[in-house]
Amino acid sequence: MNVDSLLEDFRQGRMGAAELKRLLLGESVAESPFARVDHQRLLRKGQAEVVFCQGKTPEHVSAIFRELAGRTGRVLGTRAGAEHYAAVRDMEGVRYDPLCRVLRVETRPETPVGKVVVISAGTADLPVAEEAAQTAEHLGSRVLRRYDCGVAGIHRFLSVLDDFADARAVVAVAGMDGALPSVVAGAVAAPVVAVPTSVGYGASFGGLAALLTMLNACAPGISVVNIDNGFGAGYMAHVINEQCEAARRDGAARVAAQANPAE
């Protein structure tokens, strides 16, 4: 939901003037002693504020989750611990994955659109890959996972290459030497969001080696996020996918209008 979609709903009669005013002119920031929840972000960007749980107390996470859920029915939290989950587990639609530490509240369903493929080099990269996949899914993208496809056995990637043909965006997650995104970008048409992970032996320097490899990739069409930043990659992949979906809908509407001109 953003301003354009609200105006379209009003124009089509799906929303009344009072509800439109409430959403556009309502309280944009919810103040508390420890947070200023940005409710207007949903209108500006089409997605609500996401909660970074690490470093926050369970009480703070609970209060922020309940404030956001009261407006949208959907909340995404990253880097959440078991203590954060315990503080909100009584909420309707709450889900927690201890592997990737993603905490979600989903009481309003989203119909997934398009296609985002998340590929990882190794099983050790799964926490970051799942953070990316679950972020994109929560935001509304249809996600296909292809894990343990690293360059040490390149045939594993080649065996699933057809799955990438209709992808609108790809998230490639790798540690160690970080070579997977270059291989993927050289083989698929979709833009690739590369995620270096902190997986590797000493000279990987906590993911710095993989980061530098990805930044120096020779294959075009790669963007790189921070080390272990699955959330940032999943969000970016969803934005690309969503923009493609909007263009598809606009194109279909133009074709329909040309086929059925107003008399």
Cα(69)–Cα(79) distance, integer angstroms: 18
Please provide the DSSP assignment of 27-78 as one string: -SEEE-SS-EEETTHHHHHSS---EE-TTS-HHHHHHHHHHHHHHHSEEEEE
Residue 31: per-residue pLDDT? 63
Residue extent(s) of CATH 3.40.50.1970 domains in the chain:
110-253
Q: What angle do CA 39, 194, 98 make, to 5 degrees?
A: 60
Residue 23: per-residue pLDDT? 66
Cα(228)–Cα(214) distance, integer angstroms: 13
Helix or strand (DSSP H, E) at 162: none
Which pLDDT tens digits describe the chain residue by residue (263 residues)? 556 666 777 788 887 877 766 666 555 766 677 777 777 777 777 788 899 999 999 999 999 999 999 888 899 999 999 999 999 999 999 999 999 999 999 988 888 999 999 999 999 999 999 999 999 999 999 999 999 999 999 999 999 999 999 999 999 999 999 999 999 999 999 999 999 999 999 999 999 999 999 999 999 999 999 999 999 999 999 999 999 988 888 888 788 878 777 65
First-to-last alpha carbon distance for the chain, in angstroms, is 33
Residue 225: per-residue pLDDT? 98
Cα(231)–Cα(128) distance, integer angstroms: 8
Residue range 110-253, CATH number: 3.40.50.1970
The residue with tokens 């953070």 is 131
Residue 180: per-residue pLDDT? 97
Residue 115: per-residue pLDDT? 97
Q: State the pTM of this model.
A: 0.85
Cα(250)–Cα(247) distance, integer angstroms: 5
**Is 148 exposed, middle or buried (CB count within 10 Å of its CB: 0-12, 13-18, 19+)?**
middle
